[in-house]
Amino acid sequence: MSVTYDVIVAGSGSAGMTAAVRAAAQGLKVLVVEKAHKIGGTSATSGGVTWIPNHGLGTDDSREQAITYINAVANGPVRPDRIDAFLETGPRMIAFLKDIGMEPTPMPWPDYFPEAHGARADRSVVFPKYDGRRLGALFPLVREQFTRFKLMNRYTLDFVEANTISMRAGGWLRELLKVTLRYWTDLGTRRIGRRDRLFSLGAALIGPLIERYVALGGEFLIGWGVKELEVADGRVAGVVIERYGKRRTVHARHGVIVCAGGFEWSQELRNRFFTIPGDTRFSSTPEEANRGEVLEAGIALGAATEFTETGWWVPTMSLPLPEVSNFEEIHQAVFDVGRPHSVCVNRNGDRFVDEACGYDRFGNAMLEDQLKTGANTPCWLVFDATFRYKFTAGGIMPTALMPDRKIPADWWDQYVFRAPTLRELAAKIDLDADKLEATVARMNEYARTGVDPEFGRGDNVYDRNFGDPKIAPNPCLGPIDKAPFYAIPVNLGDLGTKGGLKCDAQARVLDAQDRPIPGLYAAGNASGSPFGNAYPGAGGTIGPAMVFGFIAADMVAAEAGTELGRYTHNSN
């Protein structure tokens, strides 16, 4: 392996792999350095959704409508220059992915603030399942999905399959049988291991990017973490990397692109930057992966930071690993907290949010209520036997797949609480029984009328998209009246951090005087979000990450003097 490259990319998530493929497609010699022992970063474990307004995939969205929407949902400072660059380049990035043989497909998912001017339901883009065996020896080295995205921690599911099976919609048993047979009849892959050969969601985005990158001659260094940024002649010219205590320097002729994620797994950085630090263990990103080393390396060179006070919030729940109860696993509760037959309350027993809203809105509501009352983070999800029968609650599957008798004894009254009455449940979780009964009585009345006068649950298309269509008059509101009753604590978790190195519209890292640091670029959660604290829609993390990775690669290629867009994919 040579020790000098045209460009070094730190991190192999969606930002890093987009930057690497784009740079390699333009004739640059590229090295991707990945600290973890798996490729794909947080993106590979995510839903893999990419939010790209006006993406050019057959819709009538416009740049102007997108700007109207983003301005409407901004709840603090944003970066208009970077928003403009994102909207300008997003369609070009999608066109490039199509050119190299990928299949971006828009989904009919509402933006997270559907009531805002300019909101739409077609800006989120996904990618079809990908056959991981196409990667050859790299197949087992791609980061696997968390258990929350796999059925029984084994079978790959896409969004349609997951929704059909989890909601027990029409034909769900047939879908379950199809998924199971597909897995067990794949004898060649079963001889390799238990991993499903099909990649879905985030892995379905990362897999084909890896394939294209390798085909273009790109190289990986896996298990090496970037510890320092090397400077020569006044510009960033390489990285100092470390593996098992051994350090080495790798040089970059034209630039280093930092795409190494945020700092959510550094308690010290959370304490330094976050409004409410929370605990690293509540994060839903890969454990110990994103610790902010490259952020600190940039700061050491004089780089500025922005939007570091907050994260991409998501409610999470903790459960022991199924076969090793000494260790806990984090489960997202993205949609669970808003399903009918349930209510969320703080530790005073009060509601504080439209529970069916977008997960980042839910997290921000937790944060605001904690600052106001000191009685949130964690809060409680309270539900009845009807909810338990129909829906998941974090890592607890519905009764059809996980009846109460299959819940381990050490989970009860530690991770999940159950009682024959609401009063007894309140006693177990230390809530005022009269207040909890009154809150549930109001929710039952709202379910009868279909109107939530407190928070408007079910009043918009986003809420209703994840309700139960069999319930009327409001699919998001069902009575909480069938014993036994259950409760699970909900933590303020995250999908990563929203802030990081401050960059300009060309993805160049800036110093404290807003001057570009020569040779240093950043994208994804290693940089500040162009949207500030806003989370506009599904894929609002991955979309800008990929776009600014794409922009950074073009900037490096322009400096190197290569011809942009010279690679044409041969579909054969």
For 373, the token pair is 């009352």
Q: pTM value?
A: 0.94
Whether residue 563 has pLDDT greater than 70: no
In Å, how far are 60, 157, 357, 358, 382 from 465, measured between CA atoms?
22, 19, 10, 11, 21
For 555, the token pair is 């900037």
**Domain 313-494, CATH among 3.10.290.10, 3.40.50.12500, 3.90.700.10, 3.40.630.10:** 3.90.700.10
pLDDT for res 263:
98
Which residues in 70-177 belong to E strands, given as ranges? 105-107, 124-126, 130-131, 150-151, 155-156
Is residue 265 within 8 A of residue 288, CB to CB? The reply is yes
Dihedral pair phi/psi, residue 473, rounded to 5°: -85, -10
Q: What topology is assigned to 4-260+498-560 in CATH?
A: FAD/NAD(P)-binding domain (3.50.50)
Read off the pLDDT of residues 74-86 as tens digits, 9 standing for 90 and up: 989 999 999 999 9
The distance of Cα 78 from the centroid of its chain, to the nearest Å, equals 20
Read off the pLDDT of residues 523-560 as tens digits, 9 standing for 90 and up: 999 999 999 999 999 999 999 999 999 999 999 999 99
Domain ranges of the chain: 4-260+498-560, 313-494
Is residue 310 within 8 A of residue 407, CB to CB? The reply is no
Q: In which band, very low, low, confident or very high, does the pLDDT at 2 lie, cut at 50, 70 and 90?
A: low
For 61, the token pair is 């969205």
Which residues in 259-378 belong to E strands, given as ranges? 305-306, 311-321, 324-332, 342-345
Which whole number is the average pLDDT over 345-353? 98
pLDDT for res 571:
35
Is residue 551 within 8 A of residue 36, CB to CB? The reply is no
Rounded CA separation 545/551 (Å) = 10
Which whole number is the average pLDDT over 409-417? 96
What percent of the chain is predicted at pLDDT more than 90? 88
Dihedral pair phi/psi, residue 438, rounded to 5°: -70, -40
Angle between helices 63-73 and 80-99 (to 10 degrees): 130
Is residue 264 within 8 A of residue 335, CB to CB? The reply is no
Q: In which band, very low, low, confident or very high, does the pLDDT at 49 lie, cut at 50, 70 and 90?
A: very high
Which whole number is the average pLDDT over 250-255? 96
Read off the pLDDT of residues 87-122 as tens digits, 9 standing for 90 and up: 999 999 999 999 999 999 999 999 999 999 999 999
Read off the pLDDT of residues 151-205 as tens digits, 9 standing for 90 and up: 777 898 888 888 787 777 788 889 889 999 999 999 999 998 999 999 999 999 9
Whether residue 282 has pLDDT greater than 90: yes
pLDDT for res 564:
58
How long is the chain? 572
Which whole number is the average pLDDT over 58-82? 96
Within 13 Å of residue 363, how many CA atoms lie on the same side as its CB?
Answer: 31
Is residue 571 within 8 A of residue 99, CB to CB? The reply is no
